[in-house]
Amino acid sequence: MAAEIILFERSNCRGTHRHVFVEEADLLEGLDDFMEEKVASFVVVEGSWTFYSDINFSGQKSRPIGPGVYGALESIGMPNNAVFSLSSVRA
């Protein structure tokens, strides 16, 4: 199953963004500086994704989130700017 999500640094899908196609155990490791505590909104293009408040898929966990536009992390029960890892949910 294909998976794609676009992460945005500001609410309502604004600002710098990053496309992700595979699970990320640590969104901060060796990647764009903007990711550090700045994921505020997202678009799930394909597949379903689970968000985690800590690296290595730990901490607070969201339910699997399917395709759609999400203008704020709060809309899925996660604190704003508090996503540090994410995984795609395979069928």
Assign residue 48 the CATH number of its domain: 2.60.20.10
Range of the domain at 28: 4-89
Closest CA to 32 of 9, 53, 55: 9
State how far the alpha carbon of 46 is from the alpha carbons of 36, 57, 84, in Å.
24, 20, 20
pLDDT-based confidence at residue 19 (cuts at 50, 70, 90): very high
Q: Give per-residue pLDDT as tens, 30-43.
A: 655 555 557 889 99
Number of structural domains (the chain) is 1
The model's pTM is 0.87
Q: Give per-residue pLDDT as tens, 58-79.
A: 999 999 999 999 999 999 988 8
